[in-house]
Amino acid sequence: MRTRLIAATAAAFAAVATLPLMAQQPKTAADGIAEYRKMLEDGNPAELFEAKGEELWKTARGPKNATLEACDLGLGPGVVKGAWVQLPRYFADTKKVQDLESRLLTCMQTLQGFDAAEIANTPFDRGEQASVTALAAWISSSSRGMKMALPQKHAEEKRFYELGKRAFFFRGGPMDFSCASCHGEDGKRIRMQDLPNLTKNPGDGVGFAAWPAYRVSSGEMWSMQRRLNDCFRQQRFPYPGFGSDVTVALAVYMGVNAKGAESIAPALKR
């Protein structure tokens, strides 16, 4: 059943993808896209990753042959529900503001004995990077329907918000783009793609409250780290380190701005 839904979704996407750009009848194209979006609502392949993530959390793995069930995602060891909508946050044990993915690396190293730096340097979707993505899918799904509520009490959390804001407006690269070039105003589009204004709360299930997400166009599950990585690629910037300060600071900036927005992660995207 699930497989059939995914196949239907993929077919619907393929149909839209092959629509001629110079369409003779604009209405038909718009209708096609609306139809496709509706079909997407029926089945989200992210569920497969959620199931894998839950299994990974509860399975003894790594050099220490341990589960992740004692991992503290901010609400206490083993508490998963509600953790996602309060990340990134400051962690006293690492003395760092961490997002979900960088926190998972900490837990995989301390509890399971994996090498966090090695995982951070592994390309997306390979080896333990794929585990991190699946874990992020499951953990975020455990906060589905909850409102974004990143803490801003600790001085480091406030500092990271300020650094994230500066990174958001930082112009560079051969095209002079910053995050704000695309995401600084309401109601803008790149081609047909709507762009959320991330300098404020863009609304329930939009922007930061939608990732991780399954991307139909690439057939991949993307964590927020992956989303930011591809934003920087399109911004024509160099390559951001996985879990690097700029990625965490931007997540704090967007997450705090989205305060009160309902999380739909893992969402389904184009």
Partner 1 sequence: MKIRHLTALALLCVGTAHAQSAKQLDQQADAMMKASFREQGIAKMDRVEQDAAQKACSAAKPPPATVAKKIEAQQLAAIKWPSDGQFIGDWKEGEKLAQNGRGMTWTDASATPGKNGAMCYNCHQIDKKEISFGSIGPSLWNYGKLRGVTDPADPAQAAIVKYTWGKLWNSKAYAACSEMPRFGHAELLTEAQIRDLMALLLDPKSPVNQ
**Contacting residues toward partner 1, per CB under 8 A:** 21-23, 26, 29, 159, 162-163, 165-167, 169-178, 180-182, 187-193, 195, 199, 232-234, 236-241, 244-247, 249
Q: Report the nearest approach of partner 1 to the CB of residue 187 (Å).
A: 7
Residues 61, 112 contacting (CB under 8 angstroms): yes
Angle at 78 between CA 141 and CA 123, to 5 degrees: 60
| Residue whose CB is less far from partner 1, 6 or 258 | 258
SS3 of 76-108: CECCCCCCHHHCCEEECCCCEEECHHHHHHHHH
Q: Name the residue nearer to partner 1 (CB basis): 47 or 230.
A: 230
CA 142 to chain centre: 14
138 or 237: whose CB is closer to partner 1? 237
What is the closest distance, in whole angstroms, from the C-beta atom of residue 2 to partner 1 in the complex? Answer: 32
Residue that has been written with the tokens 């709507």 in this structure: 194
Minimum distance of partner 1 from residue 237's CB (angstroms): 6
Element of type H or E holding 249: helix 245-257
> Active-site residue numbers?
231
Q: Are 68 and 135 in contact (CB under 8 A)?
A: yes
Note if the bond before 63 is cis, omega within 30 degrees. no
* CA 76 to chain CA centroid, nearest Å: 22
Euclidean distance between CA atoms 247 and 99, whole angstroms? 9
Between CA 100 and CA 118 the distance in angstroms is 17
The two tokens of residue 73 are 């995602």
User: Shortest distance, CB of residue 184 to partner 1, whole angstroms?
Assistant: 8
Residue number with CB closer to partner 1 (177 or 211): 177
DSSP H/E element including 58: helix 46-58
- Closest contact distance (angstroms) between CB of 97 and partner 1 is 12
Q: Which is nearer to partner 1, 59 or 181 (CB)?
A: 181
